[in-house]
Amino acid sequence: MIELFNLSKRFGNLNAVHSLSFTVRKGEIFGLIGENGAGKTTTLRMLATMLSPTSGTAVLSGYDIVKEPEKVRGKVGILFGGESGLYDRLTVAENIRYFGELNDISIDEINERTKMLADTFGMNDFLHKRAGKLSKGMRQKAAFARAIIHNPDILLLDEPTTGLDVSAIREVQNFILEQKRQGKTVLFSSHTMSEIEKLCDRIAIIHKGKLVAIGTIDELRQQNQNLSLEELFVRLVGEEHEA
Amino acid sequence: MKLKHIWIVFNKELKDIVRDKKTLFSSILAPIIIIPILMTIVGGSTQKMTQEMYEDITVALTKNSDTESARNFLNSLAELDENIIVADPVDDPWQAINDKEVKLVIELENGFEEKLKNSEPINLTLIYDNSLARSGGAVGTFQATIDRLNTALAVEKLNALGINPDILSLVNVERQNIARTKDGNQFLMMILPMMIALLVAVGGIPAATDLVAGEKERMTLEPLLTTRSSRMSILIGKYLTINLFSFASVISTLAGMVLAYVINPAALSLGQGEIGGFSVEPLAFVLSLLITLLMGMTFSGIQLAISTYARSFKEGQTYLSLLIFAVMIPAYSTMMIMPNDIQPHMFVLPIMNTISAFKLILGGVVNYAELVMATISSIVYVILALLLAAWMFSKEKFMFRS
């Protein structure tokens, strides 16, 4: 579970994230929607403890991001971009092992989970090949495995399908759904409305760092004359623009 | 901060960089291969140039002064110095010298032989081209032969007059060189400390650029920062890797120099004389090495801080390449200073303290107070550089600068 309590971040005079408060329930896929610069990445970076909040806090799996950042990191897996976070000169197995070791997983457990993840994602043929020599699709699978080697409760995904082709997008979406089936909590940001509609149990729309709307897609549509999600988004963000 | 995490990061970075052929070649292999080749070529050509200045000094008369007595005069000089070779008279001295036919051209005044017989001074015009080392450098050797001829003529005259020719040199100078080291060492004292300082300062740059700025560009830094490892552990792991590469590049350069020495002993001093006869106290040598290591550690910290500030690999490369100028200024300003001329304050100034310590060792002058001063100041700089890197690594505005 993820709970945000007036989470705020200022960069100089800019209020990048302003007093965000909402809860992401355990085992749900939660979409964070907003225009470029709305504060999605900053929010995810704060939840991943990369950035410190200016005020407010968040609690992930019972750990406070301000008071217990190390414990939070042990519970979180991140994927910022579709195939990011791989070292080209290391093999897939070495990449996975590196992140496993830095998350304090024992070597035996790393080996066991690597084998399991290799089977799950079909990586056995290229597990011992250098990441830099792999195709985009293979790298993407390796990035998934790298993100969840420590079996995190929560996955934070920042626009994980941006720049990917259709089949790669499907891989990401299947990965997200599989994580949900395994009881993980997934918080991800996206621009693509169809993707949000397909995957998310609930969504939050943020604009200029502020929460504009939150709920299931159906709830939000009912509150707004059954508009499509895209129209709904434009209307809500537009209202904010006018305000 | 956990030692285990530091070790994991260090191990990974080491493996990663060792697999990077470009970094490995430029930091480790290139110095071992290039330095012996460079020094052998430069040393060989310097030696050849020195030989040309002192040996096979081809001398010719101008056509105007080509007489039998003039030829005899030149032949008498050749008898005095076996390095002088008499060539055929030339029309155009500049052309002959530049066509490498001769090194020097002589013009003798008419009737010089009569004047010499009467013990009257004669005019000999020595034509040479100072822009050519083989011609300008030969002047000294030729002049020394003329001096010997003058002395011989004077002795002959004094003997004829029944005067003891010893009056020509009443004060005999006997030279005694008490230098403990060989001539080439002086050259080494100028070049080696400067080279080591430069190498220590730049050796870690390829690794430093890759380890933070490179990670930012490849988007691997963010996942790394969300592991359970603390930022300080990640930083120290990376810092140790940069240090290792900095030291490895110095060691490979020194290995290259040793190889150059094995191939041709004179190559190391670039033909400036033999090298050897060092007498270094072990403790002083250890302190100098320690000071050098500390300088490397200081630069690794600075490089890490700069790499943290950079937004991309290319930006990191640009900023880090400027570091070389920061080293070149103190390195060149102290190049000509000899061990006994080093001022005490130089042992506490960054970079200069390392150069000064090495000059002491190479010069066989050991002053432990100064070496300790250099060691303590170096430790302070290491701490400051590391604090700067740690501070920048902890700051969001540098880590996520866009």
Say what the pLDDT of residue B320 is.
Answer: 92
> For residues B334 and B328, what is the distance between their CA atoms, to the nearest angstrom?
10
Averaged pLDDT, B76-87? 90
Partner B contacted by A142 (CB < 8 A): no
- CA distance to partner chain A, nearest, from residue B315 (Å): 20
Angle between helical axes of B282-309 and B183-202 (0-180°, round to 10): 30
> For residues A78 and B223, what is the distance between their CA atoms, to the nearest angstrom?
6
Mutate to test the interface with B, among A45, A101, A158, A162 (most CBs of B within 10 A): A101
Q: Is the pLDDT of residue A241 over 60?
A: no
Where do the domains of chain B lie? 3-48+181-399, 55-169
User: What region does B111 belong to: left with phi over 0, alpha with psi -120 to 50, or beta?
Assistant: left
Q: Which domains does chain A have, with CATH numbers?
A: 2-242 (3.40.50.300)
Answer whether B281's CB lies under 8 Å from B251's CB: no
Q: Which residue intervals of A131-228 are DSSP H helices?
A: 136-148, 166-181, 193-199, 217-223
CA atoms B213, B219, B225, B228: torsion sign: negative
**CATH architecture label of B55-169:** 3-Layer(aba) Sandwich (3.40)
Could you read off the pLDDT of A25-82 as tens digits, one per residue?
999 999 999 888 889 999 999 999 999 999 999 999 999 999 999 999 999 998 887 6
Partner A contacted by B220 (CB < 8 A): yes
Say what the pLDDT of residue B378 is.
Answer: 93
Mutate to test the interface with B, among A11, A44, A46, A50 (most CBs of B within 10 A): A50
Q: Which helix (H) or strand (E) holds B57?
A: strand B57-61
Answer whether A128's CB lies under 8 Å from A93's CB: yes
Q: State the pLDDT confidence band at B183, using cuts at 50, 70 and 90.
A: low
Could you read off the pLDDT of A98-138 as tens digits, one per residue?
999 999 999 999 999 999 999 888 899 999 999 999 988 88
Q: Is the pLDDT of residue B179 over 90?
A: no
- CA distance to partner chain B, nearest, from residue A84 (Å): 6
pTM, 2 dp: 0.79
Q: Which residues fall within 8 angstroms of residue B178, CB to CB, at 6 or more apart?
A: none
ipTM value for the complex:
0.87
Percent of chain B predicted with pLDDT > 90: 33
